[in-house]
């Protein structure tokens, strides 16, 4: 199953909105077939592994990180192919959260020895975005920030390049390549003019989302110049209709979103983005967007990179959360941490 998980990882950044899945076929102690789901519409991992195994699949054990599909969709059901190939045993990592999938029970009904829940936690972590999106049709949201040891993302004059080291920045670019989209607020665009690309890593650039209530984004911004078709701007009825049209003519997707307390309603924005099959978003905004995302309850995961530098007076990582008592603080669950170059990455869930 560990080998199947490694195969599944190859689908990160390309399989969405489908899950990333890896499969391995073993016969008499030898691997005779390998497969992973490459992109939506392509063969599933099990089908790829069975194709490679050919006749050797008869009497084999098939390992797969996610419950095999049992219904017709863009591709035929994998349970049917598994039975037809003569596989004698199937070992499954995790149950598919999609309610229409019932591969485990179908395989058992058809007389194939089947086990489920092998390295289940590892398999679940691999498909966090898919699992949330398939249940709620909303994206899995990560808030990422890079800060000094004393919690600042910039100095008092707004300088932030670079708080963390190259290793941490490279890891962030690798994460971007694996996720559907990155999101920033208009203040970040105005101040930093970011590219939001994966130039320090291999892979495709994600979609870029800018939260811009009054549509103040400059037309010469780097994210407009580079791949405008990959840019979504979430704005409101406060935006200039003339500017909306100008941006649409450049190939941008402009979403008019309702306001809440004078700001873009992030909960409603997530629903709209989910309809577009965006399953994962990493927020890389400033203190205000981070705070608004946390207050609105859309955040699933936190990734904070902490540098050994100290800045003193400066801009904090998160703005006002409306918390006055320590015992009302937001608490992370399932906390993990690791060293990335000279920095520390703290990861946790809300």
Q: Tell me if 44 sits within 8 A of 67, measured CB to CB.
A: no
Q: For 69, which DSSP code? A: P
Half-sphere exposure of 275 (CA within 13 A, CB side): 6
288 as an active site residue: the answer is no
Q: For tokens 């707004």, what's the residue?
A: 158
- Quote the CA–CA distance of 18 and 33 in Å, as a whole number: 22
Q: Output the CA torsion 55→61→63→68 (10° steps).
A: 70
Q: Token digits for 329? A: 């603080």
**C-alpha dist (Å) from residue 90 to 69, 105, 114:** 13, 12, 5
Nearest by Cα to 1 from 88, 86, 128, 117: 117
**Of 46, 67, 178, 284, catalytic:** 46
Q: H-type helices in the chain, by residue range?
A: 2-8, 45-53, 78-85, 103-109, 120-126, 128-136, 166-178, 186-192, 222-225, 241-249, 266-275, 287-296
- Quote the CA–CA distance of 344 and 347 in Å, as a whole number: 10
**Terminal-residue alpha carbon distance, the chain:** 28
Catalytic residues: 46
């Amino acid at each position: 199953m560990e080998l199947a998980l490694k195969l599944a990882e190859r689908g990160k950044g390309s399989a969405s909105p489908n899950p990333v899945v890896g499969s391995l076929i073993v016969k008499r102690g030898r691997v005779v077939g390998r497969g992973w789901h490459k992109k939506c519409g392509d063969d599933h991992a099990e089908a790829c592994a069975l194709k490679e195994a050919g006749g050797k699949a008869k009497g084999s054990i098939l390992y797969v990180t996610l419950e095999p599909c049992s219904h017709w969709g863009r591709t035929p059901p994998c349970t049917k192919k598994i039975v037809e190939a003569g596989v004698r045993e199937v070992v499954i990592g995790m149950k598919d959260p999609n309610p229409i999938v019932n591969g485990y029970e179908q395989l058992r009904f058809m007389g194939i020895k089947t086990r489920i829940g092998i390295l289940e936690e590892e398999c679940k972590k691999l498909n966090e975005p898919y699992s949330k999106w398939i249940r709620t049709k909303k994206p899995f949201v990560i808030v990422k920030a890079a800060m000094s040891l004393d919690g600042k993302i910039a100095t008092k004059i707004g300088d932030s390049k670079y708080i963390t080291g190259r290793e941490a920045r490279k890891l962030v670019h690798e994460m971007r390549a694996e996720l559907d989209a990155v999101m920033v607020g208009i203040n970040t665009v105005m101040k930093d003019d970011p590219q939001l690309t994966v130039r320090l890593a291999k892979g495709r650039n994600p979609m870029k989302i800018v939260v811009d209530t009054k549509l103040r984004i400059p037309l010469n911004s780097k994210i407009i110049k580079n791949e405008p078709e990959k840019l979504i701007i979430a704005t409101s009825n406060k935006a200039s209709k003339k500017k909306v049209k100008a941006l649409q003519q450049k190939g941008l997707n402009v979403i008019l979103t309702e306001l809440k307390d004078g700001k873009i309603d992030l909960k409603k924005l997530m629903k709209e983005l989910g309809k577009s099959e965006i399953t994962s978003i990493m927020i890389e905004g400033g203190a205000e967007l981070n705070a608004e995302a946390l207050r609105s309850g859309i955040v699933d995961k936190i990734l904070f990179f902490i540098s050994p530098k100290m800045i003193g007076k400066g801009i904090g990582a998160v703005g006002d959360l409306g918390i006055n008592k320590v015992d009302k603080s937001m608490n992370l669950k399932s906390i993990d941490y690791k060293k990335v170059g000279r920095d520390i990455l703290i990861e946790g869930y809300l």
